[in-house]
């Protein structure tokens, strides 16, 4: 592995040091840099939300952007999510590319009417004359011990709505590239950021934003494409399918399973709408067993759709039914109960055991 720099240029530093383009960043830094570059590349891009301007957002994702790009392009809004998303519709109709932020995922509920009835439908309703190039950033999922409504898992709700695309990165490299990619799409994209991973650091290859090709000898692998899933760990006995924060947990599980001789493949779904059915078929077609892991409740969760796609393509070769390890069918709890709700290592390992020990009657 070649030596890489661990220096991350701050907003406003345009000096090229000549160092490697692979840099160690946290996900927060990667997202911040992506937004900075999108603002610089497209004068029609505007970023806004509660505390997104002067403060730089609760998680500092927009830190320094207002000072660099001005108050007309990065600005604060009132505490009114329906207004934020309604304004996004008007800006998109006027030719802008809005990147609004919903401060916490649970705060998206008051804006569901705007998301479902306007953002998702306007292009269809207008027969293509009014596209909605809106990238809605949603700090998502749990893991930070926040109060009620500050941790949710809404991917199934968004993915069910025709007209929306949904994506969730699991690491800094994907966060950087997928956000830049989403910000160039003519369609509305719900960008679900795993807030518990904002401070995770990893290598980010910033030299290949246009096409997403990574420098493998620099320790980065984005799977070669920004439009599908990617295998983050090869295996042969079973496939773990996850997205967002659960990818890191599944990688931990895979390492523990390896100590018992179980070779687990981990597939990071990344795109939750549309789902990369071909990647699912390739991975599970090889391992012949699958466990899907997500934080949302079990009933009607996105894992059910994933399980159906796997069954549809791999029915004749599956050695066991697809297992789902998920949150429970209760409201997403406040921080003091998160450890009981979010799928933990033991629950996932038991799921793997059930699948491996399954015998047809």
CA separation for the pair 242, 268 (Å, rounded):
5
Task: Tell the burial category of 75 from Cβ atoms under 10 Å away from its Cβ (0-12, 13-18, 19+).
Answer: middle
Query: Does a cis peptide bond (omega within 30 degrees of 0) precede residue 201?
Result: no
Residues 97, 150, 177, 294: which is the catalytic one? 150
Tell me if 219 sits within 8 A of 203, measured CB to CB.
Answer: yes
CA separation for the pair 89, 296 (Å, rounded):
28
CA separation for the pair 345, 253 (Å, rounded):
6
149 in catalytic set: no
* Residues carrying an active site annotation: 150
């Amino acid at each position: 592995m070649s030596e890489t720099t661990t220096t991350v240029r701050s907003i406003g530093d345009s000096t090229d040091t000549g160092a490697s383009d692979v840099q160690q960043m946290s996900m927060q830094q990667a997202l911040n840099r992506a937004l900075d570059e999108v603002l610089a590349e497209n004068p029609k891009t505007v970023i806004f939300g509660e505390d997104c301007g002067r403060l730089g957002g609760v998680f500092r994702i927009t830190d320094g952007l207002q000072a660099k790009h001005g108050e007309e392009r990065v600005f604060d809004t009132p505490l009114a999510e329906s207004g934020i998303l309604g304004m996004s519709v008007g800006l998109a109709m006027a030719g802008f590319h809005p990147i609004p932020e919903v401060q916490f995922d649970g705060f998206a509920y008051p804006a569901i009417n705007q998301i479902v009835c306007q953002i998702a439908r306007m292009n269809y309703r207008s027969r293509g004359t009014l596209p909605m190039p809106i990238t809605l950033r949603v700090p998502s999922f749990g893991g930070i011990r926040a109060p009620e409504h500050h941790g949710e898992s809404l991917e199934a709700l968004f993915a069910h709505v025709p007209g929306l695309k949904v994506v969730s990165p699991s690491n800094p490299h994907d966060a950087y590239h997928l956000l830049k990619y989403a910000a160039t799409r003519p369609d509305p994209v719900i960008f679900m950021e795993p807030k518990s991973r904002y401070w995770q650091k990893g290598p980010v290859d910033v030299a290949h934003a246009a096409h997403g090709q990574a420098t493998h000898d620099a320790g980065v692998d984005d799977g070669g494409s920004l439009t599908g899933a990617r295998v983050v760990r090869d295996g042969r006995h079973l496939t773990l399918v996850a997205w967002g924060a659960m990818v890191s947990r599944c990688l931990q599980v895979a390492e523990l399973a390896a100590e018992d001789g179980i070779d687990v493949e981990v597939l990071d779904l990344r795109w939750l709408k549309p789902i990369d059915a071909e990647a699912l078929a390739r991975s599970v077609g090889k391992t012949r067993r699958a466990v899907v892991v997500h934080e949302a409740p079990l009933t009607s969760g996105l894992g059910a759709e994933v399980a159906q796609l796997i069954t549809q393509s791999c029915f004749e070769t599956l050695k066991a039914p697809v297992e789902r390890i998920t949150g429970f069918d209760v409201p997403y709890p406040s921080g003091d109960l998160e450890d009981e709700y979010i799928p933990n290592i033991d629950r996932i390992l038991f799921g793997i055991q059930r699948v491996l020990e399954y015998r047809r009657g």
